């Protein structure tokens, strides 16, 4: 009877014409971990040639006083081949736990990447998250000590029910269930495996053990800290006692068993400022894990720069349980994906220091149309070591030039051939980034780091882009890109020369249209930057800080355009 849900999925969900319709799925009691059958609903959200994504809802095994919290929402990502499977029971499946603060895009990225590799994957929202909190919001979890404690028990019960759903799929081997998560999700993954014997493989990124220390340390858990501090001493002891029982360190025996089979993977950030690194080391030691990755120099949030490679690492880890015949072949258009990823990486690297002895160069010009107005622009950027030179003509800014010499001394060109040099009251190590809104600059830095790393895992772009590649008569290639999830309306068209170098970019994004000609885009190549300040201009020394603040204001202007 374990295939009842699976047969319904095959017979009902495998049809693209059912997009937007709600379907009722039934799982009998004998297939459920708690011995109680349940029904789940599924709605097709999105489908392409490789995977289908469904919105899943099912009742929580634990009924709370808040009705909204008693329904568990999630998303199921199925390889198209798994939808047509009528009972092979051969594929692994993965339940992904989400982070504390986020919009579930990280979980969708991992689930989608797993599904494209042939592995069904799913994530569910934990108790009191989003719609499960009702009108009270996340604060509902702090209604009382009993509610707070019950949320942890309910979260694990919900996860076991999600595993019931996964094991009921006719394509899934119930002996190949894995769990994965990042940050809070990593803690939940390693915590659950001690209470759920069906878990056969665990990948935990940026987690750790010793929940009491983690709760007391991280600024992200300040709301939890404040709640606990307001409780009576007996209730505080109840809370710490429960946390000790579900602590990943308390699951050492189960984790060691996984480790002995090579089925445990841990990833930590060397300078994690949310999960103390000593808590990470405690978990690595207690689990005797042999597959541990430390991200050098990374904090909890800068670790996102390594995300493309980490997703690829996760997929390979869980794909070890795929039968040989089910191993996913390279997606169609892999070469085109690699070219798009290389372009994203090269452009993003313009904002990172070049490799020793190398430099970056970007030369482009074009036009942008918006609100019935057409604007011409040009841009030239050269960077080598501490020196760089940036000049151009940009709408709303006009002609500009700025840079730094080999010693890092900043300069900026002004009207009437004036040249401002920031030597006054100079301090070594001072940069314009210090004067940009920290949150905005951080988001930009993380986004550019993520794009720069895409060349190591171009297949991730499959999650976001519909790509069409056409060869042209002159030997060049045209790549047409559209957003797969509809978040970005319109189309971007890239034109590559015979050597695969980007030469033109055209876009029509509704409000904005434009064409860009790219004469040079080179990252970590042979680049020279004029060593001296621009000649023929009237030089004037100014305070270093004043000049850097001017740079920061211009940079902030552009960041506001891309990240309001």
Specify whether 299 is located in the same domain as 382.
no
46 plus 194 within the same structural domain: yes
Closest alpha carbon to 155 in 125, 200, 134: 125
- The listed range with the strongest mean pLDDT (60-64, 402-406, 533-537) is 60-64
pLDDT band at 278 (very low <50, low <70, confident <90, very high): very high
CA dihedral 107, 108, 111, 114 (to 10 degrees): -120
Summarize pLDDT for 16-26 with one digit per residue, the tens. Answer: 333 345 667 78
Q: Is the pLDDT of residue 11 over 50?
A: no
Residue 526 lies in a domain: yes
One domain, residues 381 and 422: yes
State whether 241 and 362 are in the same domain: no
Is 451 domain-assigned?
A: yes
Token couple for 434? 């210090």
Q: How far apart are CA 56 and CA 77, in angstroms?
A: 10
Name residue, tokens 């999600």: 162
pLDDT at 12: 34
Share of the chain above pLDDT 90, in %: 58
Using alpha carbons, list the distances in angstroms from residue 532 to 363, 405, 430: 20, 6, 21
Higher-pLDDT residue of 437 and 12 is 437
Distance CA 278, CA 220 (A): 18
Query: Is residue 203 included in any domain, yes or no?
Result: yes
Residue 330 covered by a domain? no
Mean local confidence (pLDDT), 253-282: 97
Over residues 425-441, mean pLDDT = 87
237-241, 323-327, 403-407: the lowest-pLDDT one:
323-327
Predicted confidence at residue 384, as pLDDT, reads: 92
Which residues partner with 30 through β-bridges?
none
**Does pLDDT of 296 surpass 90?**
yes
Could you tell me what percent of the chain has a pLDDT over 70?
93
322, 354, 374: which is the final residue of a domain?
322
pLDDT value, residue 1: 38
Evaluate if residue 326 carries a pLDDT over 80: no
The pLDDT tens digits of the residues spanning 126-179 come to: 999 999 999 888 889 999 999 999 999 999 999 999 999 999 988 999 999 999
**Three-state secondary structure call for residue 322:** coil
Q: What pLDDT score does 449 carry? A: 80
Domain stop point among 289, 322, 355: 322
Report the chain's mean pLDDT, rounded to a whole number. 88
How many structural domains compose the chain? 2
pLDDT on residue 220? 81
Q: Is residue 327 part of a domain?
A: no
- CB-based burial label for 294 (10 Å; 0-12, 13-18, 19+): middle
Same domain, 244 and 106: yes
What are the structure tokens assigned to 299, written together?
């904090």
Structural domain that includes position 297: 4-322
Task: Kindly state whether residues 318 and 353 are assigned to the same domain.
Answer: no
Q: How far is CA 550 from the centre of its chain?
A: 33
Q: Tell me: do 236 and 353 sit in the same domain.
A: no
Is 503 contained in some domain?
yes
CATH of residue 523's domain is 2.50.20
Mean pLDDT of 417-441: 89
Stronger pLDDT, 404 or 559, i.e. the higher one: 404
How deeply is 57 buried, as exposed, middle or buried, from its count of CB atoms within 10 A (0-12, 13-18, 19+)? middle
In eight-state DSSP terms, residue 13 is I
What confidence score (pLDDT) does residue 19 get? 38
> Residues 317, 352: one domain?
no
For residue 443, name the pLDDT band (cuts at 50, 70, 90): confident
Of the two residues 274 and 439, the one the predictor is more confident about is 274
Is 340 part of a structural domain of the chain? yes
The closest of 379, 461, 438 to 563, measured between CA atoms, is: 438
Of 266, 301, 322, the residue at which a domain comes to its end is 322
Strand spans (E) along 239-298: 264-269, 292-295
Same domain membership, residue 296 and residue 341: no
Assess whether 342 and 317 both reside in one domain: no
For the whole model, what pTM was predicted?
A: 0.78
Confidence of residue 487 (pLDDT cuts 50, 70, 90): low
Domain co-membership, 316 together with 340 = no
Mean pLDDT for 392-412 is 88
């Amino acid at each position: 009877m374990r295939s009842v849900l699976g047969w319904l999925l095959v017979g009902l969900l495998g049809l693209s014409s059912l997009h937007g319709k709600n379907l009722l799925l039934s799982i009998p009691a004998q297939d459920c971990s708690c011995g109680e059958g349940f029904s789940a609903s599924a709605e097709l959200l999105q489908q392409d040639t490789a995977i289908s994504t469904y919105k899943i809802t099912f009742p929580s095994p634990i009924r709370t006083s808040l009705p909204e919290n008693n329904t568990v929402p999630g998303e199921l990502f199925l390889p198209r081949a798994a939808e047509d499977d009528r009972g092979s029971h051969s594929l692994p499946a993965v339940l992904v736990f989400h982070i504390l603060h986020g919009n579930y895009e990280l979980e969708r990225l991992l689930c989608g990447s797993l599904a494209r590799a042939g592995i069904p994957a799913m994530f569910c929202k934990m108790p009191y998250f989003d719609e499960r909190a009702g009108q009270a919001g996340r604060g509902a979890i702090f209604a009382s000590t009993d509610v707070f404690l019950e949320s942890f028990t309910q979260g694990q019960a919900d996860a076991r029910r999600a595993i019931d759903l996964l094991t009921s799929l006719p394509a899934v081997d119930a002996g190949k269930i894995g769990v994965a998560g990042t940050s809070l999700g990593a803690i939940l993954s390693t915590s659950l495996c001690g209470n759920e014997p069906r878990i056969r493989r665990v990948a935990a990124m940026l987690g750790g053990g010793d929940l009491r220390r983690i709760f007391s340390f991280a600024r992200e858990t300040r709301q939890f800290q404040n709640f606990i501090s307001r409780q009576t001493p007996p209730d505080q002891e109840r809370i710490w006692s429960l946390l000790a029982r579900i602590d990943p360190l308390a699951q050492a025996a189960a984790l060691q068993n996984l480790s002995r089979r090579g089925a445990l993977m841990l990833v930590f950030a060397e300078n994690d400022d949310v999960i103390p690194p000593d808590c990470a080391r405690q978990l690595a030691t207690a689990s005797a894990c042999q597959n541990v990755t430390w991200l050098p120099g990374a904090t909890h949030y800068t670790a996102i720069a390594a995300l493309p490679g980490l997703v690829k690492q996760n997929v390979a880890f869980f794909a070890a349980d795929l039968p040989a015949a089910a191993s996913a072949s390279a997606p169609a258009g892999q070469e085109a994906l690699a070219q798009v990823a290389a372009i994203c990486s090269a452009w993003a690297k313009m904002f990172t220091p070049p490799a020793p002895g190398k430099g970056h160069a970007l030369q482009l010009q074009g036009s942008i149309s918006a609100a019935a107005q057409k604007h011409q622009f040009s841009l030239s950027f050269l960077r080598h070591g501490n020196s760089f030179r940036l000049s151009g003509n940009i709408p709303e800014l006009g002609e500009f030039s700025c840079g730094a010499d080999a010693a890092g001394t900043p300069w900026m060109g002004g009207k009437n051939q004036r040249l401002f040099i920031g030597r006054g009251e100079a301090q070594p190590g001072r940069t314009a980034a210090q004067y940009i809104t920290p949150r905005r600059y951080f988001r930009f830095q993380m986004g550019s780091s993520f794009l720069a790393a895409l060349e190591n895992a171009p297949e991730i772009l499959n999650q976001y882009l519909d790509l069409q590649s056409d060869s042209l008569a002159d030997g060049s290639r045209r790549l047409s890109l559209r957003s797969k999830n509809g978040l970005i309306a319109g189309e971007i068209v890239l034109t590559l020369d015979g050597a695969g170098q980007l030469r033109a970019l055209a876009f029509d994004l509704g409000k904005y249209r434009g064409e860009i000609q790219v004469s040079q885009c080179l990252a970590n190549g042979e680049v020279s930057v004029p060593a001296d300040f621009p000649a023929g201009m009237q030089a004037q020394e100014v305070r270093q800080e004043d000049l850097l603040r001017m740079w920061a204001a211009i940079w902030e202007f552009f960041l506001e355009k891309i990240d309001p």
